[in-house]
Structure formats: structure tokens, C-alpha cells
Amino acid sequence: MAVIGIESSAHTFGVGVVDDGRVLSNEKEMYRIGTTGMIPAKAAEFHVKNSAAVIARAMKNAGVSARDVTGVGYTRGPGIGPCLQVGELSAKAIADELGVDIVPVHHGVCHIEIARVLSGLKNPVVLYVSGGNSQILKRVEEPKPHYHILGETFDVGVGNMLDSFAREINLNPAWGSSVEKTAHGGKYVDLPYTVKGMDFAFTGLLTRATELVATNSKEDLCYSMQEVAYSMLCEATERALLLTKSKELCVAGGVAQSTRLKEMLKNVADEHGMKFGFAGNEYNADNGAMIAFVAERMLKAGMHSRMEECDIEQKYRTDQAVLP
Ligand code: FE2
């Protein structure tokens, strides 16, 4: 008995196999963005070329054969249309070939749910931070179980903001992880800080840091940008924790790989005597196991879809996804 999960919302084509909540394998191939940023058609072409091999490797490493598979899940969105389509078509081919149930899932919900369950949290306030998304959420049961969005970015996701700056100053690889490395030893430079209630905005911060590149060191700007952006997230998250009287905090998504962000969030949780949880980085980076993990829970709850209902949704919002 095993469920396959396929992730292809952006640069990663990932396939995971899960059995009763246990991750049996988690394989991926990643399209290298380089200095140009993401070119959707090129990324989708990369996924098409790699899909069969990654699926085969995930099944082999999980030790499962076709007859062990009981269902397949794939990322419906949010993400880049041509990339999402490759995952959708791969999942449909598996469902059709093996005669098993299929279920489309929400990418962000998968990051959140695997982090929440693996860290032993019940109903935390969640900070979901990735390239395209930055949201503060909490599960509610009405009218159907879903993550209610308490606060979110007004413009770009914090990850894309950091990636854009990394490209601006020619870091290699041009990602937030390089900004974090470059930030060591940097000194503080004043940058715009924008929090409105539990919402926040990052474009002004990026614009001002870019203006200051000519007159400041990379180290100082990376340090300051990171401290300002993460302080904004911490302030809004702390407000959400206190307003909801929550006792648990969870961080998930690509930017949850940042050691500095987790350190700052842990301080917030410790100050209020709250539990703080997160998943290992293999589940914060895009991956197929988290898709299989949530797909299995949905299939067990009878939430499979008919093949003709299965589609993709580039702007699939987290609060539109019904939870198992
Ligand atoms: Fe992601």
C-alpha cells in the first residue's frame, strides 16, 4: 500500500512515496535558474525530460511496485502554469495506467501539514514563507476545514524578494540562502519596514536596498535586508499568536530553511511560553513527499477527484483548499 506524490509547481520536479504517514522515498531533479530567473517554458521542458526517471527512482527507492500503489496526488497550485501541467499529466498517466484514485492538492498546505505533523503540533499559528507566498494562517473548521489567512504580503513573497536581491548583487547561486551566507559579519543599514496589522510588504525594502548597492557593502545590505524582512514577519506573527491566543507556532515553506528566521521565531515563541515547530529542510524545499503525505490523508478521508475534475490553478489560494 503506497501513495505517490508529484510536485512540479516551480523549479523542482519531485516525487515522493508515502505509506501510512511514513515517507518511503523523496526524489527530485531541480531546474537551475541561473542569472536569468525562471523561464517557465524551459522549466517545464526540464520537468518533461526528467519526470519518468524521477518517478521510477522514487518507486525503486521506496521498494514499491505498481501493484502496491493505491493512489496518486499532485500539486494543483499555486505555481507556474506550464510547470504545474507536467505534474498534472504525470499523475493522470499514473492514475490511468494503474487504475488508482487521484487527488489534486495545494502546495502550501502540503508544506504546512508535513511540518505540523512531524513537529507534533496540533493547531498552530503557521507562518508560511516561500518564493511566491508569505502568509500567516490558522486552521478553522467552518464552513469546511481550511487554513484561514490572518495576514499576508501585499506584494511579493519574501523568498522572491531575497532571490531578486541575490541576482541584483550577482550572488551564486542567486537565492536567499546566499543572502544568508553573505549577511554574516554585516552591519545594520536603515531600510524601509512595512507592517500593517498582520499584513506586510517587501517591494519598498527591495527597491531601497537596490538603490544602496553602489554605496554599501553586500554584507551590510544582506544583513540589514534579512533582519528587516524577518523582523516584519516576526512582528505580524506575534500579533496573530496573541490575537488567536494560540499556544503553538509553526514555520513552513522554502524560507523556513533560514537558520536566522527560525532563531528569531523561536525567540518570539519562547517569550510567550509557546511551542515552536518546523520540518527538516528536505520538506521546506519543494519536494514530492509532502504531496504524497497530504494526498494519502485526503484519499483516506474519501477526498479523491474524478479524472475530468483534475486541473491546475496558478493562483490557488491557501484558504480555498479544503483540509482532510
Ligand atoms: Fe514550496
Q: What is the DSSP string of 255-294?
A: GGG-HHHHHHHHHHHHHTT-EEEE--HHHHS--SHHHHHH
Q: What is the percentage of the chain residues whose pLDDT exceeds 70? A: 100
CA 79 to ligand 1 center in whole angstroms: 9
| CA distance linking residue 64 with residue 303, whole number of Å | 23
Could you tell me if 133 and 318 are in contact, meaning their C-beta atoms sit under 8 angstroms apart?
yes
pLDDT of residue 210 exceeding 90? yes
Q: Cell numbers at residue 177, please?
A: 540562502
Tell me the domain boundaries of the chain: 2-110+283-320, 120-278
Task: Give the residue-averaged pLDDT of 32-57.
Answer: 92
DSSP annotation of 186:
-
CA 222 to ligand 1 center in whole angstroms: 22
pLDDT tens-digit readout, 58-113: 999 999 999 999 999 999 999 999 999 999 999 999 999 999 999 999 999 999 99
pLDDT of residue 200 exceeding 80? yes
CA 283 to ligand 1 center in whole angstroms: 9
CA 70 to ligand 1 center in whole angstroms: 25
CA 81 to ligand 1 center in whole angstroms: 15
Same fold, 2-110+283-320 and 120-278: yes
CA 154 to ligand 1 center in whole angstroms: 19
Tell how many helices (H) and how many strands (E) occur in the chain: 10, 12
Nearest to 104 by CA among 285, 319, 316, 252: 316
CA 126 to ligand 1 center in whole angstroms: 15
Give residue 33's pLDDT.
77
DSSP annotation of 68:
G
Give residue 173's pLDDT.
87
CA 43 to ligand 1 center in whole angstroms: 15
CA 157 to ligand 1 center in whole angstroms: 11
Kindly give, in sequence order, each residue whose CB lies less than 8 Å from that of residue 59, ignoring residues fewer than 6 positions away: 4, 17, 25, 65, 66, 69
| CA distance linking residue 135 with residue 130, whole number of Å | 9
Q: Cell numbers at residue 22, please?
A: 511514513
**Burial class of residue 271, CB neighbours in 10 A (0-12, 13-18, 19+):** exposed
Nearest to 167 by CA among 227, 209, 215: 209
CA 12 to ligand 1 center in whole angstroms: 9
Task: Give the residue-averaged pLDDT of 143-153.
Answer: 98
| CA distance linking residue 180 with residue 100, whole number of Å | 43
CA 207 to ligand 1 center in whole angstroms: 25
CA 254 to ligand 1 center in whole angstroms: 5
Could you tell me if 186 and 223 are in contact, meaning their C-beta atoms sit under 8 angstroms apart?
yes
Give residue 114's pLDDT.
98
Fold of the CATH domain 120-278? Nucleotidyltransferase; domain 5 (3.30.420)
CA 228 to ligand 1 center in whole angstroms: 22
Give residue 78's pLDDT.
97
CA 190 to ligand 1 center in whole angstroms: 30
pLDDT tens-digit readout, 265-309: 999 999 999 999 999 999 999 999 999 999 999 999 999 999 999
CA 112 to ligand 1 center in whole angstroms: 10
| CA distance linking residue 185 with residue 278, whole number of Å | 26
CA 286 to ligand 1 center in whole angstroms: 4
Nearest to 130 by CA among 88, 93, 75: 75
CA 291 to ligand 1 center in whole angstroms: 11
Give residue 195's pLDDT.
98
CA 245 to ligand 1 center in whole angstroms: 28
pLDDT of residue 34 exceeding 90? no
Tell me how crowded residue 214 is: count the other CB atoms within 10 A of its CB. Answer: 6
Give residue 96's pLDDT.
97
Query: What is the overall mean pLDDT for the chain?
Result: 97
Superfamily of domain 2-110+283-320: ATPase, nucleotide binding domain (3.30.420.40)
pLDDT of residue 1 exceeding 80? no
CA 111 to ligand 1 center in whole angstroms: 7
CA 184 to ligand 1 center in whole angstroms: 25
| CA distance linking residue 244 with residue 232, whole number of Å | 19
